[in-house]
Amino acid sequence: MHVMLLSCCVLVLLMPGPCFMAPTLIPEVESSPSTEPQVDLKLATEYLQQYYHLQIEPFGRMKRSGSSFTAKVKDMQIFFGINATGVLDSETLEVMRSPRCGVPDVEEYSHIQGTRWNKNVITYSIGRYTRDLPRSTVNSLIESAFSIWARASSLTFVRSNTRKADIMVEFVTYEHGDLYPFDGARGTLAHAFGPGPGVGGDTHFDDDEHWTMGGTGFNLLVVAAHEFGHALGLKHSRNPESLMYPNYKPSPSANLLSREDIANINALYSPVRSRPNHLPRLGWSSQYNPWQPGSLLPRLMQDKCAPDMTFDAVSTVGDATFYFRERYLWIKHNEQYDIKEGPITNFMPKIETRIDAAFWVPRRSTAYLIHESMFWTVKGSLVKGKPRALSHFGFPAWVQDVDAAVHIVKTGRTLFFMHDIYWSYNENRKVMDFGYPKYISVGFPGINSTINAAFHKEGFIYFFVGPQVYKYDYTQKQVVGVDKANSWLGC
């Protein structure tokens, strides 16, 4: 039986080592003596092995100044928003000691990330209970953890009394039959499997931990809600405000889900998962109006002039500009006043998902449309071949999606934006430029928020941030204008 091991999430508490004084910067050369105690090096090595796929040299040797070790430290620092020096400073070690989810941050499990249950009513069952709380309390906390996701999405969770439920919840210890044994108190806290047959969706808690409703011990509601996110198909977030952030937060806010969590669960479980059969597939010149009576398309898309309208991706494609939102598309031709619109599948039948980022390379007459860790190549009005992995562009393995992308003709570079960092890709040499990623706030002063979409036109970059669009002078490095994002659609 094939088992889907999507984001087998394991929350781990690493025991802190002794305090130490570390210099702010240690030269990364073999001749430089290390001042970190061996316990910190051991902690870091084990952490990087587990979460960043660090390869140990033959006979178990590892040098702190080794290039592989330093590169993995930098990967970890970038993921957590720490100054990427490659040095085991106190801030880096503090994060490494923090309780966290055990999914490797750079593990190659992206080919099954983003999978989902092919239904919106999901059953769950509780098997063995913890000894720390009354059964009625456990039932209530587990129900509340599911309700957090239900309130934010189109999902419904139904408790079942059989062992054939989609998600089996159990409190167990040590070896418990899934090849991921627990390790006693104050070690591994819990793990969950992503959607799929067999153990898919199952969520296990280590009953050697002290489970509580808050305060001392580990908050069962918080851990369960995080794990159920993985059981539904979500992956980790680099946003500390997100419930899906890897590190455990013992004192949660009143609202566990961030805006990012809500957006991600709805992107995965959209109320309309497929194109209605009565919608014809039409060319880009279509005059089709999807808002005829009885349309099953999301009401959200009916008012493109809503004041809070945002776009997922914007790109020039030939002599037109494409505006993507969820699974919907507006096409505005540069020499025409009318706007074509409809589901993306009307124009590109092979693409049945939302588009997260898009960019156009004029000299190739080619557009690239990105969804999570995959991208499509579009020439003319045709999607060429099958989607390819985002890693094609040379990203480190932990990059599984990007927020926006834009190609700059003058420099021959394509810029990829993700949260607060960005990369520069050399389209001529087909490699990432050295020294990236860099912080967006440094490379683009005045842009201090996550970028939803971007495109280049007449010497300017237009950054779409929420319901606004910033006109950015790439030469002068400054914002020279601000407008409503949907002003581009005539609003």
Are 256 and 222 in contact by the 8 Å Cβ rule? The answer is yes
> What mean pLDDT comes out for the span 408-412?
90
283: pLDDT strictly greater than 50: no
Nearest-angstrom CA–CA distance, 110 and 52: 14
More confident residue, 379 or 32: 379
Query: Given this model, what pLDDT does residue 63 score?
Result: 52
> What mean pLDDT comes out for the span 324-337?
81
Provide the pLDDT confidence category of residue 16 given band limits of 50, 70 and 90.
very low
Query: Given this model, what pLDDT does residue 250 score?
Result: 72
Location of structure tokens 């499997």:
193
Q: Is 226 annotated as a binding residue?
A: yes
Query: Given this model, what pLDDT does residue 46 score?
Result: 81
> What mean pLDDT comes out for the span 48-76?
73
Counting Cα atoms < 13 Å in the Cβ hemisphere of 229 gives 30
Provide the pLDDT confidence category of residue 337 given band limits of 50, 70 and 90.
low
Q: Is 191 annotated as a binding residue?
A: yes
318: pLDDT strictly greater than 60: yes
Q: Is 75 annotated as a binding residue?
A: no
3-class secondary structure per residue, 104-140: CCCCCCCCCCCCCCCCCEEEEEECCCCCCCCHHHHHH
292: pLDDT strictly greater than 60: no
7: pLDDT strictly greater than 50: no
Q: What residues act catalytically?
A: 227
The residue type of 28 is E
Nearest-angstrom CA–CA distance, 476 and 121: 53
The yes-or-no answer to whether 121-268 and 299-489 have a common fold is no
Q: Is 178 annotated as a binding residue?
A: yes
CA dist 240 → 100, 110, 245, 373 (Å): 12, 21, 6, 22
Query: Given this model, what pLDDT does residue 184 score?
Result: 76
Q: Is 132 annotated as a binding residue?
A: yes
Query: Given this model, what pLDDT does residue 274 score?
Result: 35
Which residue, among 345, 318, 354, has the nearest Cα to 334 in the 3D structure?
318
Query: Given this model, what pLDDT does residue 251 score?
Result: 61
Both tokens of residue 264?
């991600």
Q: What is the topology classification, in CATH, of domain 299-489?
A: Hemopexin (2.110.10)
Are 117 and 233 in contact by the 8 Å Cβ rule? The answer is yes
Q: If you average pLDDT over every residue of the chain, what do you get?
A: 78
Which residue, among 206, 228, 205, 219, has the nearest Cα to 252 in the 3D structure?
219
Where do the domains of the chain lie? 121-268, 299-489
Question: Could you tell me which CATH class the domain 121-268 is placed in?
Answer: alpha beta
Cα angle: 98, vertex 103, 105; to 5 degrees: 80
> What mean pLDDT comes out for the span 348-357?
89
> What mean pLDDT comes out for the span 356-363?
92
Nearest-angstrom CA–CA distance, 458 and 469: 16
Provide the pLDDT confidence category of residue 61 given band limits of 50, 70 and 90.
low
Q: Is 166 annotated as a binding residue?
A: yes
79-119 residue pLDDT tens: 888 988 999 999 999 988 887 776 677 654 333 344 789 88
3-class secondary structure per residue, 332-400: EECCCCCEEEEEHHHHCCCCCCCCCEEEEEHHHCEEEEEECCEEEEEECCEEEEEEEEHHHHCCCCCCC
27: pLDDT strictly greater than 50: no
**Percent above pLDDT 90 for the chain:** 25
Nearest-angstrom CA–CA distance, 235 and 6: 9
Query: Given this model, what pLDDT does residue 103 score?
Result: 64
Query: Given this model, what pLDDT does residue 113 score?
Result: 41
Q: Is 9 annotated as a binding residue?
A: no
Nearest-angstrom CA–CA distance, 373 and 388: 8
Both tokens of residue 423?
């990369």
Are 304 and 330 in contact by the 8 Å Cβ rule? The answer is yes
